[in-house]
Copies of this chain bind each other. A is one copy, B any other.
Amino acid sequence: MVTARPVQSQSGKETARYAEMFAALGSAARLSVLRALLRAHPGGMVVGEIQGEVGVAGSTLSHHLEKLRVEELITVERESTFLRYRANTVVLEELLGFLLAECCQGSRAVEAKGLIQICQE
């Protein structure tokens, strides 16, 4: 018996993918991890350093890092005993691009002027 594979539109897959990314940013703990990694970019931070910023049990932090990593918002690299995490700027740019396009293209719901200035400060 062949189980029917649920078909999904292109925009449906796209939406689902970005929704997952937003969900990854949708916890104060994870968002503050990402903020810290962005400030520390491109050097990144090892877990101990990150833990200092977030103040949560090690095992909990590990789960949060895993979620961010699965969504490819961050990368890991072993450095002897340490694990060094970094913001994944390629994917972040993709996410920003998606949100900008949705808001500023087509019906131009959001005015781009002020946003562009933020980048140039």
Contact = CB atoms under 8 A, between A and B. Distances in A.
Number of copies: 2
Contacts of A87: 109
A42 to B, nearest CB: 7
Contacts of A31: 15, 18-19, 22
Q: Which interface residue of A18, A27, A100, A120 has the most chain B CB atoms within 10 A?
A: A100
Interface of A: 11-12, 15-16, 18-20, 22-28, 30-32, 34-35, 38-42, 87, 89, 92-93, 95-97, 99-107, 109-112, 114-116, 118-121
Given A28-B19, A102-B38, A103-B38, A96 B115 contact: yes
Contact of A19 (B20, B30, B112): B30
